[in-house]
Structure 1
Amino acid sequence: MLAAAGALAATNVVSEFAPAAPRAISIDGGRQLFVDDHLIADSSLERKWHLPEIQRGPILVPETALELNGGNRPVAAPFSDGLFYDPADGLFKLWYHAGWFDGIAYASSTDGIHWTRPRLDIEPGTNRVLAKRDGYSRDGSTTWLDLNSSDPEERYKHFVYFRRHGSPSVGEVYTSADGRHWRLRRLTGSLGDNSCFYYDSFRKVWVWSIRRTATSPRDHTGMVRVRVRREHSDFLESASWTDGDILGPAMEADSLDLPDPQLGYPTQLYHMTAVSYESIMLGSFLIHRGPPNEICERDRRPKITDITLGYSRDGMNWLRPDRRPFIASSRERGTWNFGYIHPAGGVCLIVADKLHFYFGAWSGVSPALGADMYAGGSTGLATLRRDGFASLEAGAGGASMTTTKILFSGKHLFVNANAEAGQLTVEILDGSGVTLRGFAADRCIPIRADGTRQMVRWQSSSDLSPLIGKPVRIRFYVVRAQLYAFWVSPNVSGESLGYVAAGGPGLNGSQDRTTNAGSSASETSLYSGQLHSGVLR
């Protein structure tokens, strides 16, 4: 069995999810990823973790007067905020931090690469979406596109943490029909800066990731940043809480979140958000590696933060097996992504055969001040193969993996696999492990291509209708190939019915129910061509 390289270091960060129960497990809820052993009964394959490609330069930089901040602390970057694809008008929509602690601005794009800043009527001549108020300075913020909202006036949901000069800070909650004109609905309960919210589509609850400080179990000498949560099925109700509504225990960085070897400071959990992706919750954990604020202010340099990923099957316990930075600060002066990396709300989008992860990054370069810890914020993009967090692989000698007993109501088996240099074959067994007639590996038409949506066929049929509702096991034989995911679709188009994170072109709702068989060659060429040049590996 494949083991996950995690450790039990915090009360709700786990080393491995509980072993699958002997009963059959339904796989109707989307693509089945290999981030854990949830569906694996036996395997001789090797699990490998993958990192994204980072586009060499930013896709959005400070240009307008609002963003340039008088030359002091220019910023045009998500500071959480939000980036979603809206199928209603076919646009990528970005809400972002414009000018340090100044505005919340809006931009749109037809391709996720090139952005337009519309002139709005909130502050004529700018793309600001909330009017500026004296004595209020924006800090952390989240915007969420709720495609399943029953009230059109609440299709967009928004939170912003305001620092107020001479008064306590406050969290404000807004809703909107168009994402541009916002209605203040209420104040939040007590929370700290860099708090945020997200939606758990599996449990149908809004989750507030609340930043607080506490004494660390790892280090009782000082206070550290931690996360607690608040949950409720109703968004507006979720935003109001007392201490009795807060769910714990607190989540924090642990002993596997290693200090930066050059800086040496203990790590802290700076931010945490999540999104429903296919059959799991995908979490973005922002790890702070120092220096402390006073050192950064003295040295006029940004803090070093790195995005790492986590995975959950219940929305409460998180597996974080690969602690390498998924999106890392460069740590080099003069680079656009020197430090202070922040994820965008929504976590990722599906664009053709790639996942797009947008993030804010700070250079520390100030036209007016020379250098400053909060200057030079811009927007970056990282891309990963769809479902490409982890793969099960084998070399020339070949190896196999057999699932636990599973149930499905679909008709066609699909895989996300790269078998260009080898092949992948599949057989289906009954619940006791006997190969089913017509579905043996030697009757399977080998897959010898690279694709994120490939149908598995046998010589007699590709229709699994006779197996609907019956406990079966699937065995994958892999030779010089990588297997990223599998699922059983109701249609030959290969839709998974899983959740699609922050959406993407061709996806018309919160789940993969598109009747498209996949991206056309021209679509794939368009996006990969735009990203191919200037990629760091």
Structure 2
Amino acid sequence: MANGDYFEGEPMRIGHVPQLLLDEHTVEDRWNLTRVSIQPVKFAGNPIMVPDQPGEFNCYDCHVIRDEPRGTMMMWYQDADIEETFRGRLPADPDSAEHHADFCRYAESDNGVHWTKPALGLLKHRGSDRNNIVLAGVKECDRSSIVVNPDPDDVDRHYIMGYLDAPKGESGFCLAYSPDGIHWTPEPRNPVISGHYDCVNTPVWDPIRQRWLWYGRPPVFAFGYSNLAKGWTDADPDSGLARHHRRRVSVSVSRDLVSWSKPRTVLYTDERDADADWHDIDHFRPWFQNGVFLANACYVDPSGCAAGRLMLCWSHDGFHWHRPHDRAWLIEPGPDGAWDSGWVLGASAPVLMGNEMWFYYGAQRSEPHGMVHLATSVGLAKLPRDRFIAQRAGREPGYLLTREVVVEGNRLQLNTAPHAEKPVSRTAMAPMPDLRVELVESAEGRGNVLGGHVIPGFSFDDCDVIRRNMFDCIVTWNGSDDLSALRGRSLHLRFRLSLTSLFTFAFAD
């Protein structure tokens, strides 16, 4: 939703940021349009990475970042030594990966599909340092995530890792820093937030408010309770709801990555989720894109054994989170017997590859008895750029009116795609997609009831029809795209579309 200043009479300033049409944030009104959630298409060559190295059991909780200067794709992923986890293990060696149940591994790729796992020689595991382990923590390095430091001058901390460890006997959210993504130095004041957070510990930078946000587990619940330092306790251990009362999402705020506010709950399941028997939000992977916080939320059922799946969530301030109107899934498990037929784990923030967003996700195969196979692999799913949710019109025209915005560019740019519809008979012509835009100024008094004043030269009749699939479509009126004469003025954009999907709009120079 637009902020308070807008409702006190101020227009919105959107700069050159593409406005994702996920909700009513930049939409004043719409008519005869349907919101359609778009699913990424899974790569036919999945899985793109499997646990195939000596002593490697899993490839999950992956994070992928593209190193633009080198043109290299970098992946960090979790591995869990299943034998160490399920046997009475020896105390973890803090100077190696020996007897650690969880640690972080590294891989890289030139094309994002074929990956190599370099023998880094950093940490010994199962008697050998010929592996790709980059961090094992003092006792563990679990639920790790990696982000790029927004400060380009902080070269020694170019990469920041959040993870779960107990460096001083106290479990909690920890940090480590690296100049190259391979050699890591833990934060000496770890843990920076106490508590056992069995989620993906992802810090995300808020560039608008200049602060860090971290999403984890809340310390208090309506059902059951938790000791922030020692973990959770069930209110009723015999209820069969172990842990599931606490799988909610909380947020903490920091200016320096070390001093954090108390976790506050921001997202939990509701009646619509419960009706479908989804009670948990397990993994939660946030990132910032086009002025919006986006996240992949991993839903699981109360047993924790049925297929998990991912849902897109978003927030305009990092605190108030929304889900699709139809609760559509972003990535679902594959068919029975497929490598990803079981639990689909949190997808990494997408990597932009041309006009595609590449999502890397972990998944397990389901077993006949209903459990999931413990070994986890990595898959790839692709979504066209910024096309999360469409405002779609059918054969009959639909209309969308934006909030009042300040024109801060010389051109108007759209992300839009037509969709075909068959003719009603063999002799009839197939209907044609049609998208047009007119510019409207708010009017006072009676004129406001009539919908404002259309700016001369920028009406639907003046607009050149748009029928193509384009990510950066420049709107023209009578052959001209020039909005420079309107720069600085406040107005609404009114779209009329048929057989067309509209995803974003933005001002550009």
Shorter chain as normaliser: what TM range? 0.7 to 0.9
Q: What's 2:400 paired with?
A: 401
Where structure 2 has 5 or more consecutive residues not aligned to the other structure, the ranges are 82-100, 124-128, 225-233, 421-432, 444-451
Q: What's 2:179 paired with?
A: 177
More displaced 10-residue stretch of structure 1: 401-410 or 116-125: 116-125
Q: What's 1:461 paired with?
A: 480
The 1:210–1:399 alpha-carbon spacing in structure 2 relative to 1, beyond 3 Å, is closer
1:205-253 deviation per Cα after TM superposition (whole angstroms, max 9, x unaligned):
2112122464436998664322322211222x24xx4xxx314245322
The 1:143–1:434 alpha-carbon spacing in structure 2 relative to 1, beyond 3 Å, is same
Q: What's 2:332 paired with?
A: 328
Aligned AA (1:182): W
- 1:316 correspondence with 2:297: no
Q: What's 2:254 paired with?
A: 232
The 1:413–1:75 alpha-carbon spacing in structure 2 relative to 1, beyond 3 Å, is same
Deviation at 1:460, TM superposition (A): 5.0
Q: Is the 8 A contact 1:410 1:488 kept in 2?
A: yes
Distance 1:279 1:248 in 2: 22
Deviation at 1:183, TM superposition (A): 0.8
Aligned AA (1:76): C
Deviation at 1:131, TM superposition (A): 5.4
Q: Is the 8 A contact 1:211 1:271 kept in 2?
A: no
Q: What's 1:25 paired with?
A: 12
The 1:350–1:250 alpha-carbon spacing in structure 2 relative to 1, beyond 3 Å, is closer
Structural mapping, 1:53-64, within 5 Å: 53-56=41-44, 57-64=46-53
Q: Is the 8 A contact 2:171 2:194 kept in 1?
A: no
Q: Is the 8 A contact 1:43 1:401 kept in 2?
A: yes
Structural mapping, 1:439-454, within 5 Å: 439-454=458-473
- 1:257 correspondence with 2:273: yes
More displaced 10-residue stretch of structure 1: 282-291 or 19-28: 19-28
Deviation at 1:306, TM superposition (A): 1.7
Distance 1:371 1:290 in 2: 13
TM-score relative to the length of structure 2: 0.79
Q: Is the 8 A contact 1:427 1:474 kept in 2?
A: yes
Aligned AA (1:342): L
Aligned AA (2:381): A
The 1:373–1:138 alpha-carbon spacing in structure 2 relative to 1, beyond 3 Å, is farther
Distance 2:72 2:28 in 1: 42
- 1:94 correspondence with 2:75: yes
Q: Is the 8 A contact 1:163 1:169 kept in 2?
A: yes
3-state SS, counterpart of residue 443 of structure 1: coil
1:489-529 deviation per Cα after TM superposition (whole angstroms, max 9, x unaligned):
12xxxxxxxxxxxxxxxxxxxxxxxxxxxxxxxxxxxxxxx
Q: What's 1:142 paired with?
A: 145
3-state SS, counterpart of residue 256 of structure 1: helix
The 1:132–1:31 alpha-carbon spacing in structure 2 relative to 1, beyond 3 Å, is closer
Distance 1:170 1:442 in 2: 61
Distance 2:300 2:497 in 1: 39
Q: What's 1:357 paired with?
A: 359
- 1:160 correspondence with 2:171: no
Q: What's 1:47 paired with?
A: 35
Distance 2:493 2:387 in 1: 21
Count of paired positions: 440
Q: State the Cα RMSD in Å.
A: 2.9
Distance 2:343 2:28 in 1: 41
Deviation at 1:371, TM superposition (A): 11
Larger Cα-atom Rg? 2
3-state SS, counterpart of residue 466 of structure 1: helix
Q: Is the 8 A contact 1:286 1:306 kept in 2?
A: yes
Q: Is the 8 A contact 1:417 1:452 kept in 2?
A: yes
1:423-469 deviation per Cα after TM superposition (whole angstroms, max 9, x unaligned):
21111122332122222222222111111111111225211111111
Structural mapping, 1:102-501, within 5 Å: 102-123=102-123, 124-130=129-135, 136-162=139-165, 168-186=170-188, 187-188=190-191, 189-191=193-195, 192-196=197-201, 197-212=203-218, 214-216=220-222, 223-235=245-257, 237-238=258-259, 241=260, 245-249=261-265, 251-258=267-274, 267-292=279-304, 302=305, 304-321=307-324, 322-330=326-334, 332=336, 334-345=337-348, 347-363=349-365, 373=372, 375-419=374-418, 421=420, 422-432=433-443, 433-459=452-478, 461-490=480-509
3-state SS, counterpart of residue 257 of structure 1: helix
Where structure 1 has 5 or more consecutive residues not aligned to the other structure, the ranges are 1-15, 68-73, 293-301, 491-537
Match of 1:65 among 31, 35, 54: 54
Aligned AA (1:291): S
Distance 1:139 1:405 in 2: 46
Aligned AA (1:275): W
Distance 1:338 1:34 in 2: 31
Distance 2:2 2:485 in 1: 32
Q: What's 1:496 paired with?
A: none
Distance 2:222 2:334 in 1: 28
Q: What's 2:126 paired with?
A: none
Deviation at 1:99, TM superposition (A): 4.5
Q: Is the 8 A contact 1:91 1:109 kept in 2?
A: yes
Aligned AA (1:110): D
Distance 2:363 2:319 in 1: 28
The 1:419–1:380 alpha-carbon spacing in structure 2 relative to 1, beyond 3 Å, is same
More displaced 10-residue stretch of structure 1: 215-224 or 168-177: 215-224
1:178-204 deviation per Cα after TM superposition (whole angstroms, max 9, x unaligned):
000011113122122225122223322
Distance 2:375 2:182 in 1: 25
Q: Is the 8 A contact 1:95 1:104 kept in 2?
A: yes
Distance 1:115 1:125 in 2: 17
The 1:162–1:247 alpha-carbon spacing in structure 2 relative to 1, beyond 3 Å, is closer
Q: Is the 8 A contact 2:217 2:263 kept in 1?
A: no
Q: How many percent of aligned residue pairs carry the same amino acid? A: 26
Deviation at 1:61, TM superposition (A): 1.0
Aligned AA (1:234): D
Distance 2:200 2:250 in 1: 10
1:235-279 deviation per Cα after TM superposition (whole angstroms, max 9, x unaligned):
2x24xx4xxx3142453222222465xxx5x61121223111113
3-state SS, counterpart of residue 461 of structure 2: helix
The 1:371–1:60 alpha-carbon spacing in structure 2 relative to 1, beyond 3 Å, is farther
Structural mapping, 1:518-533, within 5 Å: none
The 1:259–1:86 alpha-carbon spacing in structure 2 relative to 1, beyond 3 Å, is farther
The 1:212–1:280 alpha-carbon spacing in structure 2 relative to 1, beyond 3 Å, is closer
3-state SS, counterpart of residue 228 of structure 1: strand
Distance 1:141 1:464 in 2: 47
Q: Is the 8 A contact 2:266 2:321 kept in 1?
A: no
TM-score relative to the length of structure 1: 0.75
